[in-house]
Structure 1
């Protein structure tokens, strides 16, 4: 009994006195957020042959302490305007210095559909982005968007919320 108590006390002492893991920078595409900061940029989706690529506007709110990664998606369907506004407002109200973990905000997941004002389908390939994940690196524009989002955001997230 005494050995268990000593072992438990020693384990607790080690946990309490061990240095906390340092938060490291978080990179998506070509932009990096340092711990306790936020950064915004465009994730590039390459073109294919004569078919143009696109960009995906993203913000990273990277906490000063390690923790889970939450990804928030807006405008997977081009007509979904309220989630775009919600993420803009939310971004202004979160101080990354107060966060443990990281929030990735995908402000407009489907830029061709958003700009084309289409409801469910991406102009150019007629596909529903919501139905082509995880995508293909050499696929249609919807499949390439899904591929980039999967590789850069979804695969790195602890949780993903698609706002509709």
Structure 2
């Protein structure tokens, strides 16, 4: 798995590509707090056009609803940083792309934005495909850049687990 370095992330993204190719699947990403970082890691890999369709960067709640079909009521009920919204983002990316699987990230990278129960570093992840969705919530430490980098790595690692 990735060791947190750019080379480690590149190796992880290449591993994701091999796993997707081996299963004949194409990926889409739906990212908020990572700002397209997962899509960038993936498209840094030569040949990724064979297994990557599209990336949605939906930073605002309105964009999550308009581009991914996340119900505004779901965001209002659980907050944008929630497993429920991460699940809807991932499912929406599959539904609104040519991909069969998707990953999503939504979180609070900091330095501000913390709310009760959701400290800076909170990131929710979603993975969808084949009629199933899996989610996870983690709290990372470090500054904004560190949180975002850890979230990209975890989203890719989680996708590998989801594909098994």
TM (normalized to structure 1)? 0.27
TM (normalized to structure 2)? 0.27
Q: Which has the higher helix share?
A: 2
Q: Which has the higher strand share?
A: 1
Larger C-alpha radius of gyration, 1 or 2? Answer: 1
